Structure 1
Amino acid sequence: MIYVGGVPFSTGSDDSSSSQGNDILMALMEHPALVSASSSFSAVQERKFSLSNDSHLVRTRQIKWVYIFQKEYATVDPSLVDLVGTDEATTCVGLIVRNPKSGMISVAHMDSPRIVEVGLTQMLSSVLDQNSDTILDVHLIGGFNDVSHQHENGVTESHEKLEGYSFPLCSKIVEILGKSINKFNIQTLHVLGYNTRQDSEGNPYPIFNGFLVETATGSIFPASFDGTTRCPDELVRRIRVTASFEDPSCKGRLLETYDTQSDKFVIAPCAWTKRQVHIALSLQNLSDSEILHMCSTSPFAEAPDFVDNQRRQWEYVLEHPDWRETFPSKQPRIFERTADGSWVRHPVRPRGSTFVYAK
């Protein structure tokens, strides 16, 4: 059930067809409270989160944070984590669910309508408490106008020929929230038209590609990250996102990476196939423009390091065609937080042998 401003929200329609999510989304996009909240969010200066020595912004390692990539989610305890966030979202949408009583926060980087229903269940597993009357705070940030013939508020005039990726994803999220027996108070809906601007050539792209959440207060800020803060195990986690599309066990699910109770990252084994190695070999010599158009849902909206990140993944897969080199004995890659807030790889013990460190 959806609430806005603590009040139950209804579109006034009993339609149970597949267009229900579209109707809910269109009505929410016009709600005065959410229009105002989105306008306020747009006016907030983006925070550049970095630990580089030459950064004049956030660079202290005393801050404990959790970063999630595309298709990942993490639930964090505010007593263990100060910040949680994501970026690199173009047509993807960040979903934040917070229990205002316990302070527990779950964040997901959703990239497809197919993972929304099970993904929300995964997120709620560590956020819900015994009190079924708890109204959970919800924020949706991301996606942009990658569809044609929109109204000013970023939705289309007709449901018949929806194009692009952002609208169907946003529609599915609010549809599942609306159908749930749990209560969700939507506080931020900074998506679609509210998160769109144009470059000098008229190409649309997102105003913000990411955000961070201050866990102590639940405050949300637009944010971007860099290589020093997209960690731990940045490259393997990127590859796991791609490899998961051919893994039946990952179908319709968000990827789990962070263990809430132990404050550790546990990267479960993932196998890249010979087909994926062949694809990496065939793509590595493409031009930057070709890579953007073949590998992105929004080639005009990607960050400057998108192509480089793609190339680094392919190079790794070609250097390690056997995934078991990365996951010896098919064991997960575990990272523990150190006293200064950084991450260290935990040793793995192959079955029947002494401790060794993976490469």
Structure 2
Amino acid sequence: MIYVDGSPFTPDDSSQGMDTLVALMEHPLLVSASNTFNTVVEKNISISGNSSSVTSSVGKLVYIFQREYATVDPTLVDVVGTDEATTCVGVAIRNRKSRMISAAHMDSPEVVNNGLTQMLSLVADQDPDALYDVHLIGGFDDISPQHSNHRKIQTELEGYSYPLCAKIVESLRNRSEKFQIGTLHILWHNTKWDSKGIASPIFHGFVVETSTGVIIPACFDKTTRCPDEIVRRIRVTANFEDPTWSGRLLDTYDTSTDRVAIAPCVWTMRQKRIAMKLQSLSDAEILLFCSSSPSAEGPEFVDNERRKWDYLIRHPDWTEAFPHRQPRVFERTVDGTWARIDPFE
């Protein structure tokens, strides 16, 4: 069930996901909130000086890659966030009473229903009247030319961003929990055009301050996308061949221990063969064949893809990454970095 400003949002009962989405996008309060969000200075999350610890203004961070989620306890974590979203959508859900927050980086309508259940497993409580704050940031108008009227496409699930956003809204509406939409900075609200009329997102990510629930647009330095960046990036594509992850978000973080626990994911020799072929492509070809939004990707996209493929070529056996089929576990050190530990110790 969806709420706006404390009141139930009740469009026509016969409306589908896209109709509900457009109605929400046109709600005056959410339009105003999105306009205000556009004026917020994007926070740059980076490494402090030459040390390996996250800047003091950030504190204890949990970073989420594509198709991952994490539920964090505000007594253990200061901020949780994600970036690198183009046609993907970042979702944050906060229990107002417990202040527990779950954040996800959703990349496909197929993961939405199960993904929301995963996110709410540690956030929702037994109170039927509990209200959960929800923020959606990401996606952009990836199907319409500049200055087009978005109403023309409200019943057409084209592109990548629109079907994903429509599915998220539809799933929130159909669940029994009460979701208060606070930020809906998606689609045309999150779109800018260059001088050639090419669209791209205004913001690619966010952080949530766990003590307050405040959400801020953010981008991350490559060294703060940790721990275990490459293996986690590989899981995004490798999980398509691993039926255990079908329709689910990827487990990343152990809420109770404040440890990153990267659940095993299987990849095959086929992934190595594909990686070897893709490594031979030009940068332009990599953008064309490997991105859902080639003209909107950041400058690190191609390098990130090549580093993934290099790892797969060197480590085609997934059990090298996950010995004994156990998670890769990392804990925080005193200087703020992550250190891998032996799960059997």
**TM-score band w.r.t. shorter chain:** over 0.9
CA shift for structure 1 position 322: 1.2
CA shift for structure 1 position 129: 1.5
Question: Do the aligned partners of residues 180 and 62 (structure 1) sit closer, same or farther apart at CA in structure 2, a change above 3 Å counting?
Answer: closer
* Residue of structure 2 aligned with 1:68, choices 56, 64, 69: 64
Range with bigger deviation, 60-69 or 27-36: 60-69
Task: Report the residue type matching 1:322 in the other structure.
Answer: D
Unaligned regions of 5+ residues in structure 2, if any?
none
CA shift for structure 1 position 159: 4.7
Report if the CA contact (8 A) 1:62-1:341 is conserved.
no
What residue number does 2:75 align with? Answer: 79
Which secondary structure does the structure 2 equivalent of 1:309 belong to? helix
Inter-partner Cα distance in structure 2 for 1:214 and 1:42: 18
* Residue of structure 2 aligned with 1:262, choices 254, 257, 260: 257
Inter-partner Cα distance in structure 2 for 1:94 and 1:5: 21
Report if the CA contact (8 A) 2:131-2:179 is conserved.
yes
Which secondary structure does the structure 2 equivalent of 1:224 belong to? strand
Task: Report the residue type matching 1:310 in the other structure.
Answer: E
Range with bigger deviation, 269-278 or 89-98: 269-278
How many pairs does the alignment contain? Answer: 343
Which secondary structure does the structure 2 equivalent of 1:228 belong to? helix
Task: Report the residue type matching 2:168 in the other structure.
Answer: I
Identity of aligned residues (%): 62
Inter-partner Cα distance in structure 1 for 2:324 and 2:147: 54
What residue number does 2:194 align with? Answer: 199
Corresponding position: 1:4 with 2:4: yes
Question: Do the aligned partners of residues 216 and 61 (structure 1) sit closer, same or farther apart at CA in structure 2, a change above 3 Å counting?
Answer: closer
Report if the CA contact (8 A) 1:135-1:184 is conserved.
yes
* Residue of structure 1 aligned with 2:37, choices 36, 41, 52: 41
CA shift for structure 1 position 160: 5.1
What residue number does 1:129 align with? Answer: 125
Inter-partner Cα distance in structure 2 for 1:61 and 1:267: 26
Task: Report the residue type matching 1:227 in the other structure.
Answer: K
CA shift for structure 1 position 333: 0.6
CA RMSD of aligned residues (A): 1.7
What residue number does 1:323 align with? Answer: 318
Report if the CA contact (8 A) 1:144-1:193 is conserved.
yes
Aligned counterparts, 1:246-325, within 5 A: 246-325=241-320
* Residue of structure 1 aligned with 2:95, choices 96, 99, 122: 99
Inter-partner Cα distance in structure 1 for 2:196 and 2:181: 34
Corresponding position: 1:228 with 2:246: no
Which secondary structure does the structure 1 equivalent of 2:152 belong to? coil
Unaligned regions of 5+ residues in structure 1, if any?
350-354
Q: Deviations over 1:216-257 (max 9, x none)?
A: 000010000022210111111000111101111111100011
Q: Deviations over 1:268-290 (max 9, x none)?
A: 12121111111000000110000
Which secondary structure does the structure 1 equivalent of 2:260 belong to? strand
Task: Report the residue type matching 1:332 in the other structure.
Answer: P
Aligned counterparts, 1:182-197, within 5 A: 182-197=177-192
CA shift for structure 1 position 149: 6.2
Question: Do the aligned partners of residues 207 and 126 (structure 1) sit closer, same or farther apart at CA in structure 2, a change above 3 Å counting?
Answer: same
TM-score between both structures, scaled by the size of structure 2: 0.96
Q: Deviations over 1:120-178 (max 9, x none)?
A: 000000001221211100011000000126876x7441455432110111100110111
CA shift for structure 1 position 54: 6.4
Task: Report the residue type matching 2:311 in the other structure.
Answer: Y
Report if the CA contact (8 A) 2:146-2:199 is conserved.
no
Task: Report the residue type matching 1:14 in the other structure.
Answer: D
What residue number does 1:138 align with? Answer: 134
Task: Report the residue type matching 2:288 in the other structure.
Answer: H
Report if the CA contact (8 A) 1:134-1:183 is conserved.
yes
Report if the CA contact (8 A) 2:254-2:261 is conserved.
yes
Which secondary structure does the structure 2 equivalent of 1:141 belong to? strand
CA shift for structure 1 position 315: 0.3
What residue number does 2:13 align with? Answer: 14
TM-score between both structures, scaled by the size of structure 1: 0.92
Inter-partner Cα distance in structure 2 for 1:108 and 1:42: 21
Report if the CA contact (8 A) 1:51-1:60 is conserved.
no
CA shift for structure 1 position 59: 2.2
Question: Do the aligned partners of residues 298 and 53 (structure 1) sit closer, same or farther apart at CA in structure 2, a change above 3 Å counting?
Answer: same
Range with bigger deviation, 160-169 or 207-216: 160-169
Inter-partner Cα distance in structure 1 for 2:267 and 2:332: 28
CA shift for structure 1 position 60: 3.2
Which secondary structure does the structure 2 equivalent of 1:157 belong to? helix
Aligned counterparts, 1:240-251, within 5 A: 240-251=235-246
Question: Do the aligned partners of residues 127 and 149 (structure 1) sit closer, same or farther apart at CA in structure 2, a change above 3 Å counting?
Answer: same
Inter-partner Cα distance in structure 2 for 1:54 and 1:331: 33
Inter-partner Cα distance in structure 2 for 1:258 and 1:76: 8
Report if the CA contact (8 A) 2:271-2:316 is conserved.
no
Report if the CA contact (8 A) 1:22-1:171 is conserved.
yes
